[in-house]
A and B are shown apart, each in its own frame.
Chain A
């Protein structure tokens, strides 16, 4: 089954404790992306990747890091989480014709930073 998986689905942590949210897709997609969803703000893109070893900032990259060492994986790293990073995070992927291709979304990771 074609899918995007994220782990963990729920995470409660404390300020400053490094964490990683994993994202994996099994559709051989080149394009992967991370979004955060906040009430009243919709989804805002954090980082995206056009292919292995190619990443770029989205609209709200501050406080986040990503890596793309393998095509299927695109982890989101919070080196020193802060309470304003409490949010719902979605990973997505699509084919290289990203302008015309549908993005497939993962189930989401709800992060709470105390």
Chain B
């Protein structure tokens, strides 16, 4: 069965620090990958997505992610976080099951 793992449950950073959130998926076929963000009290919003082509994907608000097929990974990065990036981040994958499978989420807290 398809699954998505996010190993960092809670990350605490100071403003201007660099961010990397891990995401691994367990599906060997063609997979489409997403990162969603949920700000406190709000619904999920798409940060970025990977379907094919350039494995380095740029999203909104300065976020990017790199798809590494050999490692089954799709890590999210940002060079310099801001207090407003405090949110929960979800990695998700579509495989042939026609279902969008989410990871358990990573709560990011950015200290001013």
B34 to chain A, nearest CB (A): 7
| Residue from B34, B45, B46, B105 in contact with A42 in the complex, judged by beta carbons closer than 8 Å | B105
Any A CB within 8 A of the CB of B99: yes
A45, B6: Cα distance in complex, Å: 17
Minimum CB distance partner of B96 in chain A:
A99
Whether A41 lies near B104 (C-beta < 8 A) is: yes
| Residue from B49, B98, B101, B104 in contact with A102 in the complex, judged by beta carbons closer than 8 Å | B49
| Residue from A41, A45, A108 in contact with B100 in the complex, judged by beta carbons closer than 8 Å | A45
Chain B residues within 8 Å of A105, by CB? 36, 43-45
Number of A residues, CB within 8 Å of B: 24
* Interface bin, chain B: 20 to 34
B43 to chain A, nearest CB (A): 5
Find the residue from B6, B92, B99, B103 having the highest chain A CB count within 10 A. Answer: B99
Given known contacts A40-B104, A42-B105, A100-B32, is B43 in contact with A90 (CB within 8 Å)? yes
Whether A45 lies near B49 (C-beta < 8 A) is: no
A60, B99: Cα distance in complex, Å: 12
A–B pairs, 19, beta carbons within 8 Å? A40-B104, A40-B105, A42-B90, A42-B103, A43-B44, A43-B102, A45-B100, A50-B98, A56-B98, A59-B99, A90-B43, A90-B44, A98-B94, A100-B32, A105-B36, A105-B43, A105-B45, A107-B42, A107-B43
In the complex, besides A42-B103, A45-B101, A103-B46, 20 extra interface pairs with C-beta distance below 8 angstroms are: A40-B104, A42-B104, A43-B44, A43-B92, A43-B102, A44-B102, A45-B99, A48-B99, A50-B98, A59-B99, A90-B44, A92-B100, A98-B98, A98-B100, A99-B32, A99-B94, A100-B32, A105-B45, A106-B43, A108-B43
Chain B residues in the interface with A (C-beta under 8 A): 4, 6, 9, 32, 34, 36, 42-46, 49, 51, 90, 92, 94, 98-105
